[in-house]
Structure 1
Amino acid sequence: MTQRIMPAIWCDGTAFEAAEFYTRVFREAHVVDQAPGLAATVELHGTRITLINGDDTYSPNPSISGLLNFDPLLFGGQEQARAYLDELYAALSTGGVLMELGEYPFSSRYAWVRDRFGFTWQLMLTDPAGEPRPFVVPSFMFGSTNHGNAQEATQGWIDLFDDSARGTTHLYGPDCPLEEGTVMFTDFTLLGSWFAAIDAGTYHSFTFSPGVSVIVSCRDQEEIDRYWAGLSAVPEAERCGWCVDRWGVSWQVVPDTIGELMADEATRSLVLEMGKIDLRRLP
């Protein structure tokens, strides 16, 4: 199945260097698409991530990270999964460590790290019991002014997108670090792709930004119109297929032919002048 929704990391002129790095350190990884000078898309263990070759206007922060599920069933056993986790911890933690590698109540081995391109990764040795999940799952952290919105936001997305459903949800109970009823963890599918989310408290100094956006690949104008209407909540942020929803998440609602449109000088200039992309205005 073609992946129709994926995270996009804004890179400060380092997108192609990042693509080379990720395809080197992940065991199953390759570049699937490149737009010279503009972007590269990599596939890591079956999940695609786009790297935008931008400037220093934006930068990633931990509000959207890559959750890596080191399921022993995926890697031939507990020892092998643990060894790969430690291998990627060494490669991906050169930009800093947000949560030290160690044992936590939710995992016997876990760390949250920042790589040298600013993107953060959660590395977790997972319990093989239950329904399988992909190795790479983009994860939303609802902190700062967004704390407490994880359930409402994710349900709104599930209701909007086709082929979407809730997976597992764990809420905080009494005598927990955060308020009872807020989301400790939830995972869900949008257009068939897995995502996760948590509520993380009001003490964080950051929230969602264009540093990490979400690309929605649309089959036709009807899908563009429907998803744009359901997502765009900040009119002044609308540009070239980009919009921002009511929780501050940046989305790129684009046709599945966007690569071809941007490669052609005539159509690219028209697309760059649009807010919502209107295929009817293109030659």
Structure 2
Amino acid sequence: MEKNKVQKITTNLWFDTQAEEAARFYVSVFDNAKIGRITRYGKEKYEKHERAEGHVMTVEFTLEGNEFVALNGGPQFKFTEAISFIVNCDSQEELDYYWEKLSEGGDEDAQVCGWLKDKFGVSWQIIPADLTRMISDPDPEKSERVMKAMLQMKKKLDIKILKQAFEG
């Protein structure tokens, strides 16, 4: 991204106190990733948010060209599955890598059909890049076979099985 150019839409992730830890974790998982500016609470911000002066307030970070802000805003809000990040994978090896890294320490009960919840409570969909094409195929038999196969997968997705279902 150009210097001083602001991304039109930036995802903001609200954490209690783990913004920097989460940002550093996500940056370690993705190859094309980096930490940006870190802001800290000052005296004025303490009055409103009850965060000690100098405590991390926000961490800007980039994953695969997408900019994010992680905010230490307090315990009022929690992540839900209503919002998730989709990671499109070109191979089973890539899918396995992201599944392993992002699910580590996460909620095992939330792992189903390619969805997982990481150790910070953020939901991710680790899917084959071709999945959307397969489940939206104009041939309803093909798309239904893929959907049925996917729904039988209790945790991460198996690209080979999904392709076999698509091909019949």
CA displacement at 1:209 relative to structure 2: 0.5
Can you list the C-alpha shifts for 1:242-268, whole angstroms capped at 9, x where unaligned? 000011111111111111232311111
Residue of structure 1 in register with 2:148 after alignment? 269
Residue of structure 2 in register with 1:151 after alignment? 20
Supply the RMSD in Å over aligned alpha carbons. Answer: 1.6
Residue of structure 2 in register with 1:191 after alignment? 64
2:7 counterpart (134, 138, 149): 134
CA distance in 1 between counterparts of 2:54 and 2:25 reads 18
Letter of the aligned partner of 2:145 in structure 1?
A
Q: How does 1:159-198 map to 2 (within 5 A)?
A: 159-173=28-42, 176-177=45-46, 178-198=51-71
Residue of structure 1 in register with 2:93 after alignment? 222
Per the alignment, in what secondary structure is the counterpart of residue 94 of structure 2? helix
Q: How does 1:35-46 map to 2 (within 5 A)?
A: none
2:114 counterpart (238, 241, 246): 241
Residue of structure 1 in register with 2:79 after alignment? 208
Can you list the C-alpha shifts for 1:88-117, whole angstroms capped at 9, x where unaligned? xxxxxxxxxxxxxxxxxxxxxxxxxxxxxx
CA distance in 2 between counterparts of 1:248 and 1:226 reads 19
Q: Is the 8 A contact 2:19 2:58 kept in 1?
A: no
Q: Is the 8 A contact 1:261 1:267 kept in 2?
A: yes
Over 3 Å counting, the alpha-carbon distance change for 1:270 and 1:133 in structure 2 is same
Structure 2: give runs of 5+ residues left out of the alignment.
137-142
Structure scoring higher RCO (CA < 8 A, sep ≥ 6) equals 2
CA displacement at 1:156 relative to structure 2: 0.1
CA displacement at 1:198 relative to structure 2: 0.7
Per the alignment, in what secondary structure is the counterpart of residue 5 of structure 2? coil
Over 3 Å counting, the alpha-carbon distance change for 1:181 and 1:244 in structure 2 is farther
Q: Percent identical across equivalent pairs? A: 34
CA displacement at 1:183 relative to structure 2: 2.5
TM-score scaled by length of structure 1: 0.49
CA displacement at 1:180 relative to structure 2: 3.8
Residue of structure 1 in register with 2:161 after alignment? 281
The structure whose residues are more often strand, as a share, is: 1
CA displacement at 1:175 relative to structure 2: 6.6
Over 3 Å counting, the alpha-carbon distance change for 1:181 and 1:160 in structure 2 is farther
Per the alignment, in what secondary structure is the counterpart of residue 24 of structure 2? helix
TM-score scaled by length of structure 2: 0.81
The structure whose residues are more often helix, as a share, is: 2
CA displacement at 1:159 relative to structure 2: 0.5
CA distance in 1 between counterparts of 2:20 and 2:54 reads 10
Mean Cα deviation higher: 182-191 or 157-166:
182-191
Over 3 Å counting, the alpha-carbon distance change for 1:132 and 1:270 in structure 2 is same
Greater than 6 Å deviation, 4+ residue runs = none
